[in-house]
A and B are shown apart, each in its own frame.
Chain A
Amino acid sequence: MPEAYSNKVMEHFKNPRNVGELENPDGTGHVGNPVCGDIMEMYIKVKDNVITDAKFKTFGCGAAIATSSMATELIKGKTIEEALSVTNKAVAEALGGLPPVKMHCSVLAEDALKSAIDDYLKKTTGKGLPGFKPHDHTH
């Protein structure tokens, strides 16, 4: 463990919110790969443009689990537009900061979220999220 995690990170790591999958999700995001050691899946339910539920599954370190948990918390109840403004920095800040080497975990969480919204938009409008391209997580 390169640096101590904040209390908030540990709290979300110990008791992650919204773990699991959703039945018939309106959007599913899948990012990361086993080589870099982090894989995130995010599921969202959307009603009248509002994210009514979100769940995740993550293979990864403490920061990966905590950022997934926080990202799902931050987008629940938000409109698609509001959810799109949740950046990796916002996730990291909400967790009381991350050690520098773990910032990529928050980028992954943002990508997972956008990937789920991209999937939702493709299903509903036929077009994905404009300009969305997940970061290269192979390092």
Chain B
Amino acid sequence: MDYAATTPPHPDVVEAMLPYLKEKFGNPSSLHSFGQEAKAAVEEGRKQVANLINCQPEEIVFTSGGTESNNFAIHGVIHKLKPNKNHIITSKIEHHAILEPCHFLEKEGPAPDGAGAGFKVTYLDVDEDGLVNPEDVRAAITDKTALVSIMHANNEIGTIEPIKEIAKITKEKGVYFHTDAVQTVGQIDVDVADLGVDLLSASAHKFYGPKGIGFIYIKKGTRMTQFLRGGSQERNRRASTENVPGIVAIGKAAEIAKTELSERIKKTTELREMLFNGLLEKIPDIRINGHRTKRLPKNAAIIVKYVEGESMLLNLDLEGIAASTGSACSSGSLEASHVIRAIGTSPEDSHGSIRFSLGRLNTKEEVKYVLEVFPKIVQKLRAMSPLRRK
């Protein structure tokens, strides 16, 4: 139950990409028929992805995944609009693939030619459910602001951000708006026209595609520098020979997602509620982490008091259950995750964060099994916890 970390590739996706690993190995840039066959496959994949998020095929640029797409969005916009615009607004609960490029830009300091100050980044606070307040975005925008980047839904706590509301503000102020939709594409309805964003990142392996392939939606007319320089692939926006099997795979995964979407939402919501209700009923002193209703159907994040995340994960793993934690001890950093801290969780509680995340292959029986096993694990660990009686 760790579908937010990654998903098993759909069998039809694997089937679709196989020929492009074998006999259909052509380079889409070649003019001969092998190349043109590959090029046609790439363009078909682009159409399928565009169809899933409701945009034009030429607005899709394929990348190596969510991290690259996020880096592309940040660097692509800021380097195009500098030095007149040097300010980025984001939130404290973004993925590292947004936060780290921002930290990097901040450290770069003033431009060597002295034309303008260094890059500045505003990291907006969130409330205890992890929600960004759109009015905080409005208040943070200055005439130097180039880009606002707020994630569609948070990977740890599942909270869905008010993207449409923020988009209205960025449009009004003439500022570009990027959303990291790695956790939402293929999971909930993602319609770029409806959301009103200029840029959007996604990754195939979060929606039953393979690893190493993702895309960035770049709304027509958005001014960006090239991210990888070299050949003229992807309409000069991202050099590098296309990952043809990956593109075929993400296209197929997008096509399947489109047809399965309502079923996926229904199923994961049902399983999540069964899991939440069962856990709340069987285990005292736990609480749901993240917003109760504005949340990803697949995300069941909780805080378990008096016990530490890694020891829960290890015990779950011994019972054949995969989950995830934002506790310090899992990362080696000795600090609880930035998301858990940003929503104001106390140090004691932050170590007890556990995330179950559901997907298309999970069953009610599996949820029942977790509900049978997990309360015993918590009981065992609490029996040895010195925090319990305090």
Contact = CB atoms under 8 A, between A and B. Distances in A.
B264 interface: no
Interface in B205-250: none
Interface stretch (A33-41, A76-84, A86-94, A118-126): A33-41
A133 interface: no
Contact of B334 (A13, A39, A139): A139
A19 B313 contact: no
Contacts of B348: 34
Nearest to A14: B318
Given A2-B332, A36-B328, A59-B306, A65 B386 contact: no
B208 to A, nearest CB: 25
Range of interface residues on chain B?
20 to 34
Interface string A1-23: 11001000010011010011000
B308 A37 contact: yes
B385 A37 contact: no
A59 B336 contact: no
A60 B329 contact: yes
Q: B307, B308, B385: which has the most chain A beta carbons within 10 Å?
A: B308
Contacts of B384: 16, 19-20, 56-58, 65
A101 B336 contact: no
A13 B351 CA distance: 18
A1 B351 contact: no
Given A1-B313, A39-B387, A41-B386, A60 B308 contact: yes
A60 B311 contact: yes
Contacts of A60: 308, 311, 329
Contact of B314 (A35, A36, A38, A62): A62
A65 B335 CA distance: 19
A49 to B, nearest CB: 27
Contact of A61 (B311, B336, B346, B387): B311
Contacts of B332: 2, 101
A10 B311 CA distance: 11
A61 B307 CA distance: 9
A65 B346 CA distance: 22
B347 interface: yes
Contacts of A19: 383-384
A79 to B, nearest CB: 27
A13 B335 CA distance: 22
Given A35-B347, A36-B328, A59 B385 contact: yes
A56 B386 CA distance: 9
Contacts of B310: 1, 61-62
Interface string B122-143: 0000000000000000000000
B386 A39 contact: yes
B334 A59 contact: no
Q: A20, A34, A35, A61: which has the most chain B beta carbons within 10 Å?
A: A61
Given A14-B318, A61-B308, A62-B310, A37 B386 contact: no
Contacts of B351: 34, 37, 59
A58 B386 contact: yes
B21 to A, nearest CB: 31
Nearest to B385: A59
B327 interface: yes
A97 B2 CA distance: 29
A60 B384 CA distance: 10
Contacts of B330: 1-2, 61
A57 B328 CA distance: 20
Contacts of B329: 37-38, 60-61, 63-64
Given A60-B329, A61-B308, A139-B334, A40 B314 contact: no
Contacts of A37: 308, 327-329, 334, 336, 347, 351
Closest 5 CB pairs of A and B: A61-B329, A101-B332, A61-B310, A57-B386, A34-B348
5 contacts: A1-B314, A34-B347, A40-B386, A58-B386, A59-B385
Interface of A: 1-2, 5, 10, 13-14, 16, 19-20, 30, 34-41, 56-65, 101, 104, 139
Given A20-B383, A36-B334, 8 more contacts: A1-B310, A14-B318, A37-B327, A58-B385, A61-B311, A62-B311, A63-B329, A65-B311
